[in-house]
């Protein structure tokens, strides 16, 4: 998912949350975040929103936590050691809709592999194009490395944890530094006012 799609999704979620609650004129995606969304009315910002745990049940909240508190911090720490990744955005789609439950050592190895993937593709990225990476047995990846423009297959033997746990991962260049990466499963929830799940957090 590119930044425009991410921004549009977050604006839709914010609009659904604010409907009937707050009068506003415009919603602004903020980069770098937090907050995710800034709410404007009469030419002035009136509210900042951070989208967090906006899912419909406890299982989805646990899924969000496995990414945002488990794997993502490890990926973030590692990528910041490579300055060439400062403007690289990643959109991660896991094979398991609930995300894998990883032990600490495996999570560290998985994060390392994801960052090495980013380092591998970063030199090939243009300012206007995304590169989606999926995985296949080596023979298939060599014979048909390109599924379509912007979608390549890598040999799963070279990326054992990524090919096991990821359906795909999409990389793109963005015009700001150290963007927070997204996970397909954790943005698949829907926005609603529910006392149990703390759908959004207002930052004033």
Copy the structure tokens of residue 80.
Answer: 């910041």
164 and 143 within one domain: yes
Q: Could you report the per-residue pLDDT of 72-114, keeping only the tens digit for each? A: 999 999 999 999 999 999 999 988 766 677 788 888 999 999 9
121 and 40 within one domain: no
169 and 72 within one domain: yes
Q: What is the structure's pLDDT at 46?
A: 87
Domain count, the chain: 2
Q: What is the structure's pLDDT at 16?
A: 76
- The values of phi and psi at residue 127, to 5°, are -70, -15
How far apart are the C-alpha atoms of 176 and 163, rounded to whole Å? 29
181 and 88 within one domain: yes
Where in the sequence is the domain holding 198, given as residue range(s)? 3-54+189-203
92 and 180 within one domain: yes
Mean pLDDT of 13-36: 81
84 and 24 within one domain: no
Q: How many CB atoms are located within 10 Å of the residue 72 CB?
A: 20
Name the pLDDT band for 129 (thresholds 50, 70, 90): confident
Confidence check: pLDDT of 69 > 70: yes
106 and 119 within one domain: yes
71 and 169 within one domain: yes
125 and 75 within one domain: yes
Mean pLDDT of 14-34: 81
Lowest mean pLDDT among 2-6, 170-174, 185-189, 198-202: 198-202
Q: What is the structure's pLDDT at 98?
A: 65
Q: Which residue has the higher pLDDT, 23 or 52?
A: 23
Q: What is the structure's pLDDT at 194?
A: 42
Please give the sequence-ordered ranges of beta strands (E in DSSP) within the chain, or none if there are none. 26-29, 37-41, 44-51, 88-94, 130-136, 146-148, 151-155, 166-173, 182-183, 200-203
Confidence check: pLDDT of 131 > 90: yes
Confidence check: pLDDT of 198 > 70: no
Peptide bond into 34 cis (omega under 30): yes
46 and 19 within one domain: yes
176 and 198 within one domain: no
Name the pLDDT band for 172 (thresholds 50, 70, 90): very high
């Amino acid at each position: 998912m590119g930044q425009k799609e991410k921004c549009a999704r977050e604006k839709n979620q914010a609009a659904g949350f604010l409907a009937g609650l707050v009068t506003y004129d415009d919603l602004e995606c903020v980069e770098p975040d937090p907050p995710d969304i800034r709410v404007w009315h009469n030419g002035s910002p009136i509210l900042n929103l951070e989208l967090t745990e906006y899912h419909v049940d406890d299982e989805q909240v646990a899924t969000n936590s496995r990414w945002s508190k488990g794997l993502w911090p490890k990926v973030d720490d590692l990528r910041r050691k490579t300055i060439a990744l400062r403007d690289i955005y990643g959109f991660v789609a896991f094979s398991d809709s609930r995300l894998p439950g990883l032990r600490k050592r495996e999570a560290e190895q998985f994060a390392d592999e994801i960052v090495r993937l980013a380092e591998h593709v970063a030199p090939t990225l243009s300012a206007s194009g995304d590169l989606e990476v999926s995985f296949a047995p080596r023979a298939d990846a060599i014979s048909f490395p390109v599924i379509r423009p912007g979608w390549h297959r890598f040999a799963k033997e070279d990326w054992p944890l990524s090919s096991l746990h990821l359906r795909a991962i999409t990389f793109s260049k963005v015009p700001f530094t150290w963007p927070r990466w997204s996970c397909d499963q954790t943005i698949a929830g829907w926005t609603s006012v529910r006392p149990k799940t703390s759908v959004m957090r207002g930052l004033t």
